[in-house]
A and B are shown apart, each in its own frame.
Chain A
Amino acid sequence: MADVVEQSSDPPIEPSGGGSTGLRARFRRYRELDLTEEELATVLLFPVVMFLLTVSFYPIVDTVWGSLHTGYVLEHETKQFVGLQNYEQILNSGRFWNALTVSLIYTFVSVPIELVIGIGMALLLNRAFKGKYFIQAAILFPWALPTVINARIWAWMFHGEYGVINDMLVKIGILESPYPFLAVPDAALASMLFVTIWKTSSFMALIMLAGLSGIPSHLYEAARMDGASKWRQFRDITLPLLKPTILVALIFRTLPAFQAFGLPYGLTGGGPAEATTTLVLYDHKLTFNSLAFGRGSAAATIITLIALLIALIYVGTLYEPEVS
């Protein structure tokens, strides 16, 4: 190891005078490592590709394979081939359909709202002002907050008897007395949506900010000269040029939202009456509480297929090969 370090600290050009033979020999060895681009690419990508094949692709295949078997997580050897029986059970289970509904509502209500709020925040932040970085750090903070810790904080704020949200709503006059937000199915789902929108809008804002900074300012100058209103400028310049960014943001956010786990786990534990049990939480319970390996794998495979479908739909409808 020391040898390598020493070697790499040699000057790249062979000293013309007084170079020791040891140095020259080492330098030659170094030259012998010269590879073609193709070989070098193979050397550099081999570990990465192997790593991904082992840790990302093999498990997917194994999950699909496992979904065709029955057995328990901790007793791998008792697996028995059962064909599509696990899928049949999952698709006939009301709990699966409930979880799917919860996940779809969660994803397709929260992400569009986050996007709109994020664009608004980005438009507000897209200028130079004093203390910009401090304020950005504060605004970005919800995104960096661990989801499950965030969930615990909001569980306390939404508390049915002593929660500060209740107190504020009572003081404003919206509520007459504390409301048990997390104990009523619809209210619990709405609360969960509120928390995730609160947390993730800042992340959306950040991505939108990057997109905004890529729009050349002379377009706005020209529009202003033509007397275009702010709204026209937004509709005809900002929005169309922001489209690629919006696509990236939607994919970035939709797939994680579809896999929500920490928030329902920490906020409500999936309750009440499974009103906030998302697909991943359902699958996790199925796998690790019931230890049903086969059905857990079948559910995971279904989740994967839906996620890929969502990604394909997004890319298919929103992706336009760039003109430039």
Chain B
Amino acid sequence: MSTKSRSFEIESFQFVGKKVGFYGSLLILVLVSMFPVIWIFLTSIKQPGSIVQFPVQYLPQNPTLENYRVALGNAPFFRYLINSAIVAGGTAILDVFLGAIAGYALSRLRFRFKLHVLLLILGTAMLPFISRLIPLFSLARSWGLLNNYLGLIIPYAAFQLPFAVWIFQAYFKELPDSLEEAGLMDGLSRIGVLFRIILPVSAPAMATTAIIVFIYAWNEFLFALTFMSQDSMRTITVGIALYGGQFETPWGTISAAVFTSIIPLMLFMLFFQRKVVEGLTAGTGKA
């Protein structure tokens, strides 16, 4: 009896220990992941003098919004945010449309050269972006697309298209054939089946594609830096990268600018995290 209760005690002790270990590791992970953002926030509300001191002041004394006033007042900050939203939104819409129709054809139709087309589309995913930068820069220049939203939307959409096609074809493969058969029996054409039956049920694939392509376009830097030389056309990543003086970096105002730009992203991740996870995992689990 006593040995039994002792072993029970040990087991429950181990159980509690495991739980503490598990939640402890999670807590550490979350802290490590979020620390830079927390740090940027703390820096952004410090008095200018207390930002540059060592040992570092961890919690701000006399927190201030002065850095935000300077950061948001000086730079065309909201302009950058709007530019990013337009570019990322446009890219997402284009890729959802192109990805859906191509994904449908590749997953549910029989035709010659299917493998070749699939390889052509997915093969472009392997090509480095830098190898397309110079010619696309020349093209954009001769078509007047530098400092133009389309100048970024078109290359971004092309670069993310293989991913979009992959998501959609993986999703369409899982749909039952009976769905299309029912539509055809009801007298729909194949295009009718696509637009009135298949696309409406593919909302989950559309959402994941849109979100991930949106994040890509929001974050892209190489092309955004090269194609948008005009200050009013810059995206938020370029705006922030080029923010600040050449010699003395105003860390307080930069922190305020950075933290403001991160707020939409944090909300986005909080609300759409499940979709992001589903989207990223759609192609990998069932390779």
Contacts and interface: CB of A to CB of B under 8 A. Distances in A.
Partners in one complex: yes
Interface of A: 8, 12-14, 30-31, 33-35, 37-38, 40-42, 44-45, 47-49, 51-52, 55-60, 62-63, 66, 73-74, 76, 121, 124, 129, 133-142, 144-154, 156-157, 159, 161-164, 166-167, 170-171, 178, 198, 202-203, 206-207, 209-211, 213-214, 244-245, 248-249, 255, 258-259, 261-262, 265-266, 279-280, 283-284, 287-288, 293, 296-297, 300-301, 303-304, 307-308, 311, 322
A157 B241 contact: no
Contact of A153 (B98, B110, B136, B258): B258
Given A48-B98, A287-B134, A206 B281 contact: yes
19 contacts: A34-B191, A38-B111, A41-B109, A48-B102, A55-B154, A56-B127, A124-B29, A129-B26, A133-B274, A135-B30, A138-B34, A142-B36, A148-B240, A149-B236, A152-B258, A153-B40, A156-B40, A164-B56, A304-B131
B241 A162 contact: no
A162 B281 contact: no
A300 B102 CA distance: 29
B219 interface: yes
A323 B105 CA distance: 26
B273 interface: yes
Interface in B120-145: 120-121, 124, 126-139, 141
A49 to B, nearest CB: 7
Given A51-B98, A124-B25, A284-B222, A31 B130 contact: no
Interface in B181-196: 183, 186-192, 194-196
B56 A30 contact: no
B43 interface: yes
B4 interface: no
A35 B112 CA distance: 15
Interface stretch (B7-15, B64-72, B202-210, B260-268): B260-268
A62 B131 CA distance: 9
A63 B129 CA distance: 11
B171 interface: no
Contacts of A167: 54-56
B76 interface: no
B20 to A, nearest CB: 13
B149 interface: no
A305 to B, nearest CB: 9
B136 A138 contact: no
A300 B189 contact: no
A48 B222 contact: no
B39 to A, nearest CB: 6
Most chain A CB neighbours (cut-off 10 Å) among B136, B159, B196, B261? B136
A324 B157 CA distance: 34
Q: By DSSP majority rule, is chain B's interface helix, strand, loop, or mixed?
A: helix
B254 A156 contact: yes
B105 A210 contact: no
A73 B283 contact: no
B59 interface: no
B101 interface: yes
Given A38-B112, A206-B277, A248-B287, 13 more contacts: A12-B196, A31-B189, A34-B190, A48-B161, A51-B161, A55-B155, A62-B138, A139-B29, A140-B273, A140-B277, A141-B33, A162-B51, A167-B55
B201 interface: no
A199 B196 CA distance: 41
B75 interface: no
A302 to B, nearest CB: 10
A214 B286 contact: yes
B269 A144 contact: yes
Given A12-B187, A48-B102, A73 B128 contact: no
Given A35-B190, A152-B258, A138 B30 contact: yes
A34 B189 contact: yes
Contacts of B137: 73
B219 A146 contact: yes
Contacts of A76: 138
Nearest to B27: A135
Nearest to A127: B22
Most chain B CB within 10 A, of A52, A74, A209, is at A52
B102 A303 contact: no
